[in-house]
Amino acid sequence: MTTTPTALSTYASHVEHVASIWSACMSNSDFDAVLIDAGEHTPYFLDDQSPPFRLNPHFGHWLPEATLVGSVIAFRPGEKPVLHMLSEADFWHAPGTKPSWAEGSIAIEIHHDRASVIEAASRQMPARSAVISPSADAALPGTTNPTNLLAALHFQRARKTPWEIAQMRQSSKRAVAGHLAAEAAFRDQRSEFDIAMAFLAASRQMATEQPYSGIVALNEHAGVLHYQHYDREPPEVHRSFLIDAGASEFGYASDITRTYAGDNQSAFAALIDDLDRAQLALIDTIAPGMSYVELHDSMAARIAALLCEHEIINTSPERAHDEGLADAFFPHGLGHLIGLQTHDVAGQQRGPEPDISKPPSRYEALRLTRTIEKDQVFTIEPGIYFIPLLLEPIRAGESAGLYNWRAIDALMPCGGIRIEDNVVVGDNGCSNLTREAFASAAQGNAS
Ligand code: GLY
Ligand code: MN
Ligand code: MN
């Protein structure tokens, strides 16, 4: 982990932007000041051990330094924000890292116990102050986590600043280094566990530092959408490999999936190539003003057409899509907002108010239903899976005759395919952070 972020020269304008968003949202909710609590360790039930610390993302929006456990940021519109940093006198643990790189934009005061942090942060707070904290009883003065203020802040977070995009570009690069090592370990016939270790080492992260637990799935396991185990022994044959794994850079996530075939001449390999092309063609159509729900529908139509082309479904692409014949092969959403969280907040929010726009029932797993806007960052992650739990009822049903069960049975041992990129929406098309990172790694290897 680097200790100074990339693109530091853009941090000051990021903080100015964050300050203007917070000032407007606070004014609309009638708050004059806010205290943002990083959060504290929360031990497991009846234990003195805690799960890995996760920074309050609202704190991270200002200052994504993951080690600032127990610290508080105080902000009043028009004034420089102050970080009240907890740096305990503790010979059991090392203190958090002082983010000196942020001092031009955020004042830093050091305190040696949590009580002093609370006391200093609370000093001269006006009556109308809000507290944003993971804890309902953080002992800070003000209204804790007011619904309308949180909703307004969440809605705004979908659009990223240049500084945030620079962190995500960097986290994509780190994840891609891991993906390349993982593919090599797959080609080397290694176990899921060994592949996962190769990913972590090459992406320079501990398992607990990942933005989400990496999915490393060989063969049938690729058909379990969030497969969570790591077999210690390699399988007898390496038919397929799906890896969904990302990295975190100053709190900003990348979320990347690739799928590989053991045999590059197989029907499974051909399906991977075609899904890859279809995913890129869909990304080419993205523009501000479009509906993400329609984008999902367009991908579903492309997948239906692919399944007809590969003679997995025996009817016209139009009928396959209209009648939902391909839906069981693509049972998750096309993507989600990404940023300080892997599944960033407010994907279904209609506007700054808390109201939600649910996806249509056909696509009920879709996490993102918003209109696409410039500077949003989201994933595009289509999949084609051969999941017995979803396909067996179709085999036993009325429309079974429209499917080629011999082809499906041959593909089932490969599990499934997912291809996931992270894209930034521009005025005219997207920047694809994932493809750029793979291209830059290939260029580095070639030179
Ligand atoms: N890795 C979780 C997802 O792709 O959404
Ligand atoms: Mn994702
Ligand atoms: Mn993913």
C-alpha to C-alpha distance for 398 and 16, rounded to whole angstroms: 60
**Nearest residue to 365 via CA among 342, 323, 331:** 331
What's the pLDDT at 265? 97
Question: What's the pLDDT tens digit per position in 208-234?
Answer: 999 999 999 999 999 999 999 999 999
The closest-lying atom of ligand 1 relative to the alpha carbon of residue 381 is 4
Q: Is any ligand 1 atom within 6 A of the Cβ of residue 192?
A: no
C-alpha to C-alpha distance for 283 and 287, rounded to whole angstroms: 9
- What type of residue sits at position 327? D
Average pLDDT, the chain: 97
Is residue 447 scored above 70 in pLDDT?
no
C-alpha to C-alpha distance for 66 and 249, rounded to whole angstroms: 10
Assigned token pair, 170: 């960097």
Contact 255, 244 (CB under 8 A): yes
- Of 90-94, 129-133, 219-223, 235-239, the one with minimum mean pLDDT is 90-94
What's the pLDDT at 3? 81
The closest-lying atom of ligand 1 relative to the alpha carbon of residue 367 is 5
Q: Is any ligand 1 atom within 6 A of the Cβ of residue 220?
A: no
Residue among 244, 341, 378, 434 whose CB has most ligand 1 atoms within 8 A, to mutate? 244
Q: Is any ligand 1 atom within 6 A of the Cβ of residue 344?
A: no
| Close Cβ partners of 312 (under 8 Å, ≥ 6 residues apart) | 329, 403, 404, 407, 408, 411
Q: Is any ligand 1 atom within 6 A of the Cβ of residue 381?
A: yes
The closest-lying atom of ligand 1 relative to the alpha carbon of residue 335 is 5
| Close Cβ partners of 418 (under 8 Å, ≥ 6 residues apart) | 242, 244, 257, 259, 381, 382, 383, 385
Stretch 59-77: mean pLDDT, rounded? 97
Assigned token pair, 359: 């996806």
Sorted by where each starts, the structural domains of the chain and their CATH numbers stand as 8-156 (3.40.350.10), 162-446 (3.90.230.10)
How many CA atoms lie less than 13 Å away from 12 in the CB half-sphere? 4
- Taking the centre of ligand 1 as the mean of its atom positions, its distance from the CA of residue 268, in whole angstroms, is 22
- Taking the centre of ligand 1 as the mean of its atom positions, its distance from the CA of residue 250, in whole angstroms, is 19
What's the pLDDT at 442? 95
The bridge status of strand 33-37 relative to strand 129-132 is parallel
Contact 313, 406 (CB under 8 A): no
Contact 195, 215 (CB under 8 A): no
Stretch 199-211: mean pLDDT, rounded? 97
The closest-lying atom of ligand 1 relative to the alpha carbon of residue 257 is 4
What's the pLDDT at 16? 98
Percent of the chain exceeding pLDDT 70 equals: 99
**Nearest residue to 185 via CA among 172, 166, 198, 201:** 198
What's the pLDDT at 183? 98
Q: Report the residue count for the chain.
A: 447
Question: What's the pLDDT tens digit per position in 258-314?
Answer: 999 999 999 999 999 999 999 999 999 999 999 999 999 999 999 999 999 999 999
- Taking the centre of ligand 1 as the mean of its atom positions, its distance from the CA of residue 225, in whole angstroms, is 9
- Name which residue sits closest to atom 3 of ligand 1, judged by CA: 255
Q: Is any ligand 1 atom within 6 A of the Cβ of residue 420?
A: yes
For residue 191, CA distances in Å to 58, 129, 196, 208 come to 39, 53, 9, 20
Question: What's the pLDDT tens digit per position in 361-406?
Answer: 999 999 999 999 999 999 999 999 999 999 999 999 999 999 999 9
C-alpha to C-alpha distance for 322 and 243, rounded to whole angstroms: 31
C-alpha to C-alpha distance for 230 and 228, rounded to whole angstroms: 7
CA dihedral 192, 195, 196, 200 (to 10 degrees): 180
Q: Is any ligand 1 atom within 6 A of the Cβ of residue 405?
A: no
| Close Cβ partners of 420 (under 8 Å, ≥ 6 residues apart) | 244, 255, 256, 257, 258, 335, 379, 380, 381, 434
- Taking the centre of ligand 2 as the mean of its atom positions, its distance from the CA of residue 359, in whole angstroms, is 17
- Taking the centre of ligand 1 as the mean of its atom positions, its distance from the CA of residue 213, in whole angstroms, is 9
The closest-lying atom of ligand 1 relative to the alpha carbon of residue 244 is 1
What's the pLDDT at 446? 72
Q: Which ligand is closest to the CA of 211, given by its number?
A: 1
Residue among 257, 334, 378, 385 whose CB has most ligand 1 atoms within 8 A, to mutate? 257
Question: What's the pLDDT tens digit per position in 117-128?
Answer: 999 999 988 889
Q: Is any ligand 1 atom within 6 A of the Cβ of residue 421?
A: no
C-alpha to C-alpha distance for 231 and 189, rounded to whole angstroms: 13
Percent of the chain exceeding pLDDT 90 equals: 95
| Close Cβ partners of 82 (under 8 Å, ≥ 6 residues apart) | 73, 74, 75, 106, 107, 108, 109, 121
Is residue 2 scored above 70 in pLDDT?
no
| Close Cβ partners of 395 (under 8 Å, ≥ 6 residues apart) | 403, 405
The closest-lying atom of ligand 1 relative to the alpha carbon of residue 245 is 1
pTM for the whole structure: 0.97
Is residue 1 scored above 70 in pLDDT?
no
- What type of residue sits at position 321? H
